[in-house]
Structure formats: C-alpha cells, structure tokens
C-alpha cells in the first residue's frame, strides 16, 4: 500500500504517530496498574503494623520476653555455643534439666 511517503506504512507520519500513541497508552495502563499494586501493598503493610503489637528487637528465644539492658532477671546471657537467653530462663532450665557447658 502506498501512502505517498514511501513504500511501507512506517514511513507514513500519521501511522507512526498512531502507533506511538497506542504504545504510550499501553505503558500508561501498565504504570497505573503498578501504582495501584504498590498502594495496595502499602495499605496492607500499614494495616499489619497497626494490628501486630511491636516486639522488642532483642528477646529471649525461650520465654520470648524482651531483654532488659541493666539488672533484673531478663538480662541476656551468651552461652558457650553462641546462643543467648535471659538469665532467668537459663537458671530455671538449669535447675530442672542438666545442661552441660552452660556458663554465665
């Protein structure tokens, strides 16, 4: 088909413009979907943060209580193996179950 600008349809300025507009519309729709999905994820995360109680950064893996920084029984202690637990849990567990290699 001849358009007066060359042998193929790509050399016709109106066809090239129409094709570019179509591609631009597809990109616009893809971007709108990505924005919607991102906003949905953000709402989900905010909802979960409101529902879930804040947890201490450092907690005993036995009793799940947060460690105290000074004094008290919830002070973290490092075992020879490298694991940590609060002093109270170590003392309580050691009292009823012999755990070789525990040193505070």
pLDDT in tens, 54-91: 665 788 888 888 887 776 668 888 888 888 888 888 88
CATH number given to 55-104: 3.30.40.10
CA distance 44 to 56: 22
Query: What confidence tens digit (pLDDT) does each residue in 17-58 have?
Result: 889 999 999 999 999 999 999 999 999 988 887 776 666 578
Query: What confidence tens digit (pLDDT) does each residue in 3-17 have?
Result: 555 555 556 778 888
Which residues, other chains included, contact 90 with Cβ-Cβ below 8 Å and sequence gap of 6+? 77, 79, 102, 104
User: Do 61 and 83 form a contact (C-beta atoms < 8 A)?
Assistant: yes
Q: Model's pTM, two decimal places?
A: 0.38
As to burial, measured by CB atoms within 10 angstroms (0-12 exposed, 13-18 middle, 19+ buried), residue 93 is middle
Query: Taking the domains of the chain in order of start, what are their residue ranges?
Result: 9-51, 55-104
Percent with pLDDT over 90 in the chain: 23
């Amino acid at each position: 088909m001849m358009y007066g600008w060359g042998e193929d349809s790509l050399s016709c300025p109106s066809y090239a413009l129409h094709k570019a507009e179509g591609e631009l519309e597809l990109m616009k729709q893809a971007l709108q979907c990505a924005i919607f999905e991102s906003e949905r994820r953000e709402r989900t995360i905010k909802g979960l943060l409101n529902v879930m109680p804040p947890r201490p950064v450092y907690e005993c893996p036995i009793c799940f209580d947060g460690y105290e920084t000074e004094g008290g029984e919830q002070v973290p202690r490092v075992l020879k193996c490298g694991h940590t637990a609060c002093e109270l849990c170590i003392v309580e567990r050691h009292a009823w179950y012999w755990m070789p290699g525990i040193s505070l």
